[in-house]
Amino acid sequence: MATANEPTAASSTPAAVAAGFAPALKEEGRLLLKMGIGKPLIARAMLSAQSHGTTVEAELLASGDIDETIYFEALAEMLGLDFMPQIDPARVQDIAGLDIQLLRPETLRVHHPSRPPVTIIVPSLARLSDVASLLQRTPLLRQSLAASTPSAVRRAVWQAGRLRRVSATTQALFETTPLHSARITFWGKQGFYAGILVSTLLAMAMGLPMISLMLLHIVLTLFYLANFLVRFYALGCAFMQEGAPHPVAQAPPAGPLPVYSVLVALYKEKSVAAQLVGALDKLDWPRSRLDIKLVCEEDDLETIAALEAIRLAPEYEIVRVPVHLPRTKPKALSYALPGVRGDFVTVYDAEDRPHPGQLHEAYAAFCAASRQVICLQAPLIITNARQSWLSALFALEYAGLFRGLLPMLSLTGLPLPLGGTSNHFRTAELKQIGGWDPYNMTEDADLGLRLHRLGYRSQVIYKPTFEEAPITFPVWLGQRTRWFKGWLQTWLVLMRRPAQLRREMGWAAFIVFQVLIAGMLLSSLCHPVILGFLVYLGWLMVQDGTHVDGWLTFWLFICDVVNIFGSYAVFIALGFNRMTKREKRAVGWRWGFVPAYWLIMSLAAWRALMELRTSPFSWNKTPHAAVGAEEPA
């Protein structure tokens, strides 16, 4: 039996359907019928337009049932205008306000060296009678007008403003709010203080080696302990929530859904192009309300060719980013941001397979939250844990981070160091705060902390995105080195004015930031040192015994044991607590490699420290391959 929202077969004939529609939709239907479009197509488009709050024309074009070029050529013929299926961007001047045509492609001025300029218009059914009346009153106007398609206008505008846009992308954040940009590694006196600190440590190590080692040991122990306690608290929260259903956001207000934009930055991703498009095609959102931008480097011809070989639906657009340093993912995303048409925008990676209902959950969460919440983070789930010990521990790490630690931070109102994908934003606020920093290698963590210091908040949602983890050591090391380098950049950027940062974030957020970022960096860099201290102190105690005179040695030994083995245990327990039975079986016994995993993380941290000095803006690209594995239950 049909529901109230599903017309019966008898009532869904074109005539019956049209009877219940607004006059504007009926008029569109009549005009489309005159153009020779079939009644069943028009009827379906009218139903969708009424449901989505759009126009019949928009639904018809979004459906892919009619060709955009043929449709607008027919409109041009009805108006008696020349039709230009392609627009030469060299004849378009990059004037102020040009980028508005990326959002609403309606008119564009095209110049010619030997003829008067021509104004390109994108005709629409809603304005067809007005334009026809104008042309009837002033027939000479036809000589200076021509028609084209929205896609052709956008392509010409992207190309005409490419150099100005890419220059602004790489400079805007640094020029408007230089305090928030990682373009300069050491800001102001940071380099001076870093030099003083290193010199002091070297001098102390040479002059007072034992005292220096003891002080270093105490400092590292405290940072390690703080990091352990934060994750232990997250584990406690996870145990209390175990078995409880995820919170469900209230249903969004009735009415048309907004336009939702999707950004995907691709570079050398020919192998996953078809998989990506297949995953995005499954998103449960009206196609007429989707704006999907596949952002490619313009010299990445193989990826662009692979995308063009796919029959992309009308909601897709390939954005070509001019070759310009730095060549980073955040630069590509920020370059595409001016063309984002949605009220909300999400970011995915090339290898991602997002849950089809993720956009609906994010929209409902935004509607239920205050306007202060401008970012939502979806969890990332690793699906190839069986392939190697690296991917198994990567899956364990991600389970603890995205389903354990970040939800705890969200519930307590603390800043979220975002993941690099499946972030959902309110578009207006994202543009207002400057988007992503093109010079930061972990633009996600940087943006999450920056928006918190600016007074905004982030929360989590629960429908996941599925990803593949690196399975070979060189690939894993390159990716992790880039991450550590970005976390170093992020800490340096936020710590340019510590007192101001503390006022902006508040004491609790400031302390958690130090524990999560500085503590993680120090613990990774010094993990071998702590292990060395543990072995050395154990040897001393065996040699000298645990008498009262050695109380400091004894308690440092106890702290080291808690820090090292407690951190291992929390890492494993937090990850397993959030995993399904199927995921746990995929990890299996390989959790026993956690000590080795932490040691190679230390190697990545030291490589990142070296790269921060020699090549701060080099992007270690992680290669991806198409997968066929099913997502974990």
Say whether pLDDT at 123 is over 90: yes
pLDDT at 545: 59
Determine the average pLDDT of the residues in 469-495: 95
Residue type, position 319, single letter: V
Q: Order the strands of the 457-460 sheet from edge to edge.
A: 316-321, 290-297, 260-266, 344-348, 423-426, 373-377, 457-460
- Of 259 and 238, more confident: 259
pLDDT at 200: 79
Cα Rg of the chain (Å, integer): 29
Say whether pLDDT at 16 is over 60: no
pLDDT at 243: 67
- When mean pLDDT is compared across 13-27, 381-395, 586-600, the lowest value belongs to 13-27
Determine the average pLDDT of the residues in 285-303: 96
Q: What share of the chain is helix, strand, coil (3-state, %, to 5)?
A: 60, 10, 30
- The residues facing 227 across adjacent strands are none
Confidence of residue 544 (pLDDT cuts 50, 70, 90): low
Determine the average pLDDT of the residues in 229-233: 90
pLDDT at 8: 39
For 521, phi and psi rounded to 5 degrees?
-65, -45
Q: Tell me the percentage of the chain whose pLDDT exceeds 90.
A: 68
Say whether pLDDT at 563 is over 50: yes
Cβ–Cβ < 8 Å for 343, 260: yes
**Sign, Cα dihedral of 431, 433, 438, 443:** negative
- Of 631 and 410, more confident: 410
Determine the average pLDDT of the residues in 2-15: 41
- When mean pLDDT is compared across 13-27, 386-400, 497-511, the lowest value belongs to 13-27
Q: 353-354 and 423-426 as β-strands: parallel, antiparallel, unpaired?
A: unpaired
Tens digits of residue pLDDT in 413-471 = 999 999 989 999 999 999 999 999 999 999 999 999 999 999 999 999 999 999 999 99
The count of other CB atoms within 10 Å of the CB of residue 284 is: 11
Under DSSP, the state recorded for 351 is T
Cβ–Cβ < 8 Å for 507, 473: no
pLDDT at 557: 79
Confidence of residue 9 (pLDDT cuts 50, 70, 90): very low
pLDDT at 4: 38
Determine the average pLDDT of the residues in 173-183: 93
Confidence of residue 194 (pLDDT cuts 50, 70, 90): confident
Q: Tell me the percentage of the chain whose pLDDT exceeds 70.
A: 94
pLDDT at 2: 37
Determine the average pLDDT of the residues in 235-261: 80
DSSP 117-174: -EEEE---HHHHHHHHHHHHH-GGGGGGEEE--HHHHHHHHHHHTHHHHHHHHHHHHH
pLDDT at 191: 77
- Of 248 and 529, more confident: 529
- Of 143 and 14, more confident: 143
- The residues facing 423 across adjacent strands are 347, 377
Determine the average pLDDT of the residues in 90-113: 93
In angstroms, the CA 147 to CA 72 distance is 8
Confidence of residue 319 (pLDDT cuts 50, 70, 90): very high
Say whether pLDDT at 21 is over 80: no
SS3 state at 95: coil
Question: Which two tokens mark 472?
Answer: 């070979």
Say whether pLDDT at 547 is over 70: no
pLDDT at 548: 41
Determine the average pLDDT of the residues in 52-75: 92
pLDDT at 211: 77
Tens digits of residue pLDDT in 295-307 = 999 999 999 999 9
Determine the average pLDDT of the residues in 206-213: 76
What value does the mean pLDDT of the chain take?
A: 89
Confidence of residue 192 (pLDDT cuts 50, 70, 90): confident
Confidence of residue 19 (pLDDT cuts 50, 70, 90): low
Under DSSP, the state recorded for 11 is T
Over 70-91, what HEC string results? HHHHHHHHHHCCEECCCCCHHH
pLDDT at 212: 75
pLDDT at 92: 94
For residue 326, is the peptide bond before it cis, meaning its omega torsion is within 30 degrees of 0?
yes
pLDDT at 631: 53
DSSP 430-443: HHHTT---TT-TTH
Confidence of residue 6 (pLDDT cuts 50, 70, 90): very low
pLDDT at 219: 81
